[in-house]
Structure 1
Amino acid sequence: MITLGQINTLTVQGEFPFGYQLSHPDDDRVVVLPGPVEHALEEGSEVSVLVYTDENGQLTASQQTPKALAGEVKVLKAVGVTGFGAFFDWGIEKDLLVPRHNQAGPISEGMVYPVYVYEDTATERLVGATKLHPFLSENGSYFKPGQEVELIVYAKTELGVKVVINESHLGLIFASDAFKPLRIGEETTGFIKQIREDGKIDVTLQQVNATGRDKLQQEILDDLEAHGGMSTLTDKSPPDEIYARFNVSKAAYKRALGALYKQQKIRLDKQKITLL
């Protein structure tokens, strides 16, 4: 069967002045591959193409690699905004339409947003959505606390930052855990902090379990050894300097210094840290 929004392997049925006619043995629909193509195709040969619909509803093929397939969430750039929707560059000849009713908020041309690509069964066309709740799960039963995940910043709220987790779920980074600026569309690594009683997912940018604490303590010791046993990055240093060095919050850094001090592995002064 021919599947919209996916890479299909189709057979060349014939050539026209404007391109090629493609088909699938288990589907009676015709797909048009517009010309020109990079290499001439022979009748009966197979070709792998993305299938979508053009403005007239005709099944159309592209040999270009899309930035997102149907069922995926990817960060795409808005290249045009109209009264009925916004258009996004998704890597092929035809831009992807995100209808106004599928938008989580106002879209600005030139900005990037996480976009979910899917087939609209009512129109039988591929469209996108920046309103992700109807398509992604908020049930965290699949995840475990401490699990490393890939994140895409989705939206900002009074509580914190909403994120897409592994392109399949939605979660929240509370403002207290967002120790660095996060932009809409930014991709980063994070960790599952907890699964709430209602199943919703809390995410953090750093490991908060014993493994994460031990790792940070060892990184501090390694950094001290690399700098002759002394560092001016103390618990009084600005948060951005701490993040630039260790990629953690100031609170996590202070906890790690306190643990190392209790273990008598470092000496703490106002201006410096010394390795013992």
Structure 2
Amino acid sequence: MLQVGMFHSLEVINEVPFGFYLDGQDKGQILLPTKNAPLGCKVGDKVHAFIYHDSDDRIIATTKRPKVCVDHCAYLKVVSISKVGVFVDWGLEKDLLVPYSEQAYPMSEGLSYVVYVFCDEETGRLAASTRLSDFLYEESSEEGGTFEPKQEVELLICGKTDMGYKAIINGSHLGLLFRDEVFKPIKIGHSMKGYIKSIREDGKINLCFQFHDPSARNTLEEQIIEDLIAHDGLSTLTDKSAADEIAKRFNVSKNAYKKALGSLYKQKRILLDKSKITLVENK
């Protein structure tokens, strides 16, 4: 069955002055306008085309690639506001509607938001929503995937709370990055790699950017020693330094840096005071 909002490989069955008709199977013949057709297109060819509704609500095809397909999330900009909702730019000629009923909060023209694209069951047309929890799983054990601690995942930052940042995990689940796990500048709409930190008793998912296991800390310890050697055995980057300064030099959280310094101090490889770190010379 042909699904609106996805790419399909369809056969060209007729050529007309304004384009080509594709075999849309259960959807009938679907127009592929000349301007959106591949160069040299002819009857009998197979065309990889995206299917959606045009401004007249007719099913139409294009070889252009939208910024997002159905049942996926993306960070899209609001380009206009109407009586029925706002329209976001998703890379095609007809902008994508976010109905007022699908807005978790008021959306403003010129700003961008993370939205989920879905197919309306009643109309068969595509729309988008910022009510992400209505479409994504919030517990690891729910259908769509089970996660394990230390598992690497793809994250899309989608919101900010008093505790930290909400993120979409592998396009299917929602998780939380606590504020003390964020050691580098991030913004809503950023895509990046991360890790499953833990699964809470209620099934909710905690995330992190780095694991503070012994092997990782040992590697960081050696980086700190190498940095001290390169700077004549002295560094002003102490455990009192700002988190962003630590992240800029070592790409780790302040907590991880403090643990590594503590380990080096116990090993008597460094001396610590409020203003500097000093490398202990081996005699």
- Report what 2:97 is aligned to: 97
User: For this pair of structures, how many residues does the alignment match?
Assistant: 275
Instruction: Look up the equivalent residue of 1:203 and give its one-letter code.
Output: L
Q: Is the 8 A contact 1:148 1:189 kept in 2?
A: yes
Q: Is the 8 A contact 1:148 1:190 kept in 2?
A: yes
Taking the aligned partners of 2:222 and 2:121, their CA distance within structure 1 comes to 54
Once the two structures are superposed, what CA deviation does each residue of 1:31-85 show, in whole Å capped at 9, x if it has no partner? 1112324514211111111001123332101111111111211222222233322
Taking the aligned partners of 2:90 and 2:225, their CA distance within structure 1 comes to 45
- Report what 2:120 is aligned to: 120
Once the two structures are superposed, what CA deviation does each residue of 1:91-115 show, in whole Å capped at 9, x if it has no partner? 2222111112112222222222222
- Report what 1:85 is aligned to: 85
Of residues 137, 141, 144 in structure 1, which corresponds to 2:148?
144
Q: Secondary structure at the match of 2:9?
A: strand
- Report what 1:253 is aligned to: 257
- Report what 2:76 is aligned to: 76
Aligned Cα root-mean-square deviation (Å): 2.1
| Offset, 1:204 | 2.2
| Residues 79 and 259 (structure 1), Cα distance of their counterparts in 2 relative to 1, 3 Å cut | same
| Residues 111 and 60 (structure 1), Cα distance of their counterparts in 2 relative to 1, 3 Å cut | same
- Report what 1:199 is aligned to: 203
| Offset, 1:211 | 4.0
Q: What TM-score do you get using the length of structure 2 for normalisation?
A: 0.88
Once the two structures are superposed, what CA deviation does each residue of 1:166-223 show, in whole Å capped at 9, x if it has no partner? 2111011223434455422122332222101110011123323334433432332333
| Residues 213 and 2 (structure 1), Cα distance of their counterparts in 2 relative to 1, 3 Å cut | same
- Report what 1:156 is aligned to: 160
Once the two structures are superposed, what CA deviation does each residue of 1:109-136 show, in whole Å capped at 9, x if it has no partner? 2222222122111110111122111111
Q: Secondary structure at the match of 1:158?
A: coil
Taking the aligned partners of 1:185 and 1:104, their CA distance within structure 2 comes to 16
Matched, 1:34 2:33: yes
Q: Is the 8 A contact 2:240 2:274 kept in 1?
A: yes
> Aligned residues: percent identity?
48
Q: Is the 8 A contact 1:193 1:208 kept in 2?
A: no
Q: Is the 8 A contact 2:76 2:114 kept in 1?
A: yes
Taking the aligned partners of 1:70 and 1:197, their CA distance within structure 2 comes to 32
Once the two structures are superposed, what CA deviation does each residue of 1:126-153 show, in whole Å capped at 9, x if it has no partner? 1112211111111124112222222222
Q: Is the 8 A contact 1:146 1:209 kept in 2?
A: no
Unmatched runs of 5 consecutive residues or more in structure 1: none
Q: Secondary structure at the match of 2:246?
A: helix
Q: What TM-score do you get using the length of structure 1 for normalisation?
A: 0.90
Q: Which moved more, 1:118-127 or 1:27-36?
A: 27-36
Q: Secondary structure at the match of 2:39?
A: coil
Instruction: Look up the equivalent residue of 2:14 and give its one-letter code.
Output: G
- Report what 2:57 is aligned to: 57
Q: Secondary structure at the match of 1:133?
A: helix
| Offset, 1:247 | 2.4
